[in-house]
Amino acid sequence: MSKIKHITSIFTVLFSLLSLSQSAIAESPKVVLETNHGDITIILNQEKAPKTVENFLEYVNDGFYNGVVFHRVIPHFMIQTGGFDSKMSRKATRSPIENEATNGLSNKRGTVAMARTSSINSATSQFFINGIDNLFLDHKDGSSQKFGYAVFGEITTDSYSTLDSISTVPTQPKFGHQNVPTTEVIINKAYQLEASTEEANAASQTPTNS
């Protein structure tokens, strides 16, 4: 009996940890990017990257990303967006934010990180989605070259098909930029997924008596 109780205790602990993990994911802010290649849902890590998430959500809720294009697409690397409209005109942004690359999150496939210049704290609105594991982009030291790129979220499993679709589009140099898609890849709409919508979606997938 003691062995059975021990096994039962282990399963109870594992179930509790799983429930806590699922609860944390459910409570994390989520943003949907509706693109002409399909939707991308981003789960934001508010705990590890609070300033970056706050900044990103302000741009989202202001409608800043609506009509913005993916202006830099490199296969087997990443896809970048958040700065230019369909005419490749740079959009005006707010002030740069602090680089949170020291948060321990890694630039693995499917993660979302802030783009920046050679200056450590220069990120504003542009971000990229890693198409593969790009661990060389992680924080290494305090220098500009190795400070890293702040990861602040990751895409959902059902968003990978859209990521891979965008990653393979033909590109060309355009208006002084390299790797610009020859056919426009655009974010038609970006919006924060409300908690009520998430709960409704979860409920619709829960078995019920009918």
pLDDT digits (tens, 9 = 90+) for 27-44: 899 999 999 999 999 999
8 vs 101: CA distance, rounded Å: 41
pLDDT confidence band for 194 (50 / 70 / 90): confident
Q: Which of 59, 25, 54, 62 is nearest to 41 (CA)?
A: 25
CB atoms within 10 A of CB 67: 15
Contact 177, 126 (CB under 8 A): no
* Domains assigned to the chain: 29-194 (2.40.100.10)
pLDDT in tens, 45-93: 999 999 999 999 999 999 999 999 999 999 999 999 999 999 999 999 9
pLDDT of residue 27: 85
Helix H or strand E encompassing 189: strand 186-193
